[in-house]
Amino acid sequence: MPCLSFRRRMLFNMYQRTLRSSFLCLIILFLTIIIVILLTFRLSNLQQECSTNINVPQQQQPQRIQYNSSSEHPVIFIGGMPRSGTTLMRAILDSHPLVRCGEETRVIPRILSMRAAWKKSPVEWNRLIAGGISESMIDSAVRAFVYEILLQHGKHADVLCDKDPFVLKYTSYISSIFPNAKFLLLIRDARAVIHSVMTRKVTITGFSLSDYRQNLRLWNKGIETMVNQCTEIGKDKCLMVYYEQLVLQPKKTIADILKYLNLPWVESVLHHEELVGKKISLSKTEHSSDQVIKPINTEALTKWVDHIPKDIKNELDTLAPMLKKLGYDIQSDVPTYGVADQLVLDNMNKLKENADFWNAKAKSYARQAPNDTRPFQNQSAQRTIH
């Protein structure tokens, strides 16, 4: 009997273990089926999302940069000393259907200045390297930052463009991180630049509203840096554009610029004023907005004449030797820049005949922010100009 009882207990235990094992198997099978169903459902949703994104037009999709995607859009950088026609140049390019420049970003020259400051300081640069931050990592981040600003700055365009005057102090470096970029360096007679700065009270770091000598020296140092940078990367990448020729012979000058940029000719580039408030957006915090709302004209070409002190005229060769190097006549009191073409003559007549209209329009775009650009200037720009 004891033996029989033991067998019964053994059989009962085996039966219990079998039941438990079967129950466990059923639970595992049930969970497996649930997981398969959930995965199938998720996969179906992902396919629908991908299909939806494909059907959304490019300009409606968020445009986020991927690593090294800076080559996706051609990029143009416009710069030069302030009051040299950079705003007019960007308005002209903005009138082209394939290009989008927009207002000054302010932040692009700042990030370039920061990178230059790190590189210039051995202590700071070594600290970055010791911390595992390599030069290629920094350059990749700067490129991504700049490109993202350009990409998101306005509506979709085939060609992106940046107009920040001092950005061309970094032409060589920008060219290294944007190898396909092209640069336009605006050059203008220093006497006209300084007169404009002082009479329009454009406060720029280092510049004075009363000292011609100081301003001419600063102009000379700044433009020399930009010309050297432009020359370093070569004529295929950097084109020097003279403001005087841009406003006297716009059709020929702009045609040469578009050819250099590999852009087709369109008549709209000769009439940017017709697109202001439409395709072209002007910032009322910029000093030139009230001027570029007008058609291309020569109003500002020789406003400086008879306003430069005689003793300053006699020192031009010493104060600003770049004037002569760039081909400007520093001997004549009224230099000849060239002859205006018929388009410009017609524009001047249009401005004269409708003076009240254009003056009212200029007034509506007059600068409304505090007349002080110092908070926006980068420290490196100040160091280079001094």
Q: What is the pLDDT along the chain (386 residues), one digit of tens a residue?
A: 554 455 555 555 555 655 556 656 666 666 566 665 655 555 555 455 444 443 434 444 434 434 454 456 899 999 999 999 999 999 999 999 999 999 999 999 999 999 999 999 999 999 999 999 999 999 999 999 999 999 999 999 999 999 999 999 999 999 999 999 999 999 999 999 999 999 999 888 899 999 999 999 999 999 999 999 999 999 999 999 999 999 999 999 999 999 999 999 999 999 999 999 999 999 888 888 889 999 999 999 999 999 999 999 999 999 999 999 999 999 988 899 999 999 999 999 999 999 999 999 988 888 765 444 443 344 334 333 33
Q: Starting at the edge strand that comes first in sequence, how are the strands of the sheet with 99-100 ordered?
A: 99-100, 159-163, 75-80, 182-187, 238-242
| Residue 46 counted as domain residue | no
Cβ count near 212 (within 10 Å): 21
Distance CA 183, CA 181 (A): 7
Tell me the C-alpha distance between 197 and 191, whole Å: 10
- Is residue 25 domain-resident? no
Q: Which two tokens stand for residue 159?
A: 């060609």
> Cα(22)–Cα(348) distance, rounded to whole angstroms?
97
pLDDT at residue number 252: 97
Contact 125, 182 (CB under 8 A): no
For CA atoms 16, 20, 22, 26, give the dihedral sign. positive
Nearest to 109 by CA among 22, 183, 168: 168
For residue 330, with 0-12 CB atoms within 10 Å meaning exposed, 13-18 middle and 19 or more buried, which class applies?
middle
Q: What is the pLDDT of residue 7?
A: 57
Whether 59 is in a domain gets the answer no
Residue 362 Cα to chain centre, angstroms: 25
In a domain, 70, yes or no: no
Predicted pLDDT at 45: 52
| Whole-number CA gyration radius for the chain | 32
**Residue 12 located in a structural domain:** no
* Residues ≥6 apart with Cβ < 8 Å to 34: none
Domains identified in the chain, total number: 1
* Confidence at residue 365, expressed as pLDDT on a 0 to 100 scale: 86
Q: Active site includes 267?
A: no
pLDDT of residue 3: 47
Q: Provide the pLDDT for residue 15.
A: 53
Q: Whole-model pTM?
A: 0.77
Is residue 2 included in any domain, yes or no? no
- CA distances, 355 to each of 92, 284, 351, 362 (Å): 22, 21, 5, 10
Q: In sequence order, which ranges of the chain are alpha helices (DSSP H)? A: 2-55, 86-94, 107-120, 122-130, 135-152, 171-177, 190-199, 212-233, 243-248, 250-260, 289-292, 310-314, 316-319, 321-325, 342-353, 355-364, 379-385
Catalytic residue among 49, 103, 104, 124: 104
pLDDT of residue 131: 93
Question: What pLDDT sits at residue 73?
Answer: 85
pLDDT at res. 326: 97
Cβ-proximal residues to 363 (8 Å cutoff; 6+ apart), any chain: 290
Distance CA 158, CA 364 (A): 31
DSSP label at 280? B
Alpha carbon of 113 to those of 110, 262, 293, 373: distances in Å? 5, 30, 31, 16
Residue 15 lies in a domain: no
Q: Which residues contact 304 (CB under 8 A, 6 or more apart)?
A: 189, 191, 192, 194, 195, 196
Domain assignment of residue 197, given as a range: 75-365
CA geometry: angle 205, 210, 215, nearest 5 deg: 50
Q: What are phi and psi of 153, to 5 degrees?
A: -70, -25
d(CA 90, CA 79): 10
CATH assignment of the domain containing 270: 3.40.50.300
Q: Specify which residues 78 forms β-bridges with.
A: 163, 184
277: in domain = yes
Q: How far is CA 331 from CA 25, 52, 163, 298, 314, in A?
A: 101, 68, 33, 22, 9
